[in-house]
Amino acid sequence: MRKIYLIGLFLITAGGITFGQTFNPYRNLIIGSRTDCIINDSLSIIPGSIIIRSPDGPLDESLYSVDYLRGKILISEKAILP
């Protein structure tokens, strides 16, 4: 009985490890916006986890600010496309 218990426990644990290796914590979002504020759901944003890209490449960090606690990205008027 103990061997069956240990084998079952091993299979459950091994399944969790396999799933953990395929999980990707990164999300890519394509957001088209002509406003100066983007609200990201109701969850907070992890500091240092935001990279904003324009069609020309990464947007300079001086052109936007992130309110991590409220989940908002505030974009400077210079960065908004005409």
Which residue did the predictor score with more confidence, 26 or 60? Answer: 60
Position 22 scores a pLDDT of 58
> 3-state secondary structure string, 16-75?
HHHHHHHCCCCCCCCCCCCCCEEECCCCCCCCCCCCCEECCEECCHHHEEEECCCCEEEE
Position 74 scores a pLDDT of 82
Q: Where are the domains of the chain?
A: 2-75
- The three-state secondary structure class of 4 is helix
Range with top average pLDDT, 16-20, 26-30, 70-74: 70-74
Is the pTM value of this prediction over 0.85? no
Position 53 scores a pLDDT of 78
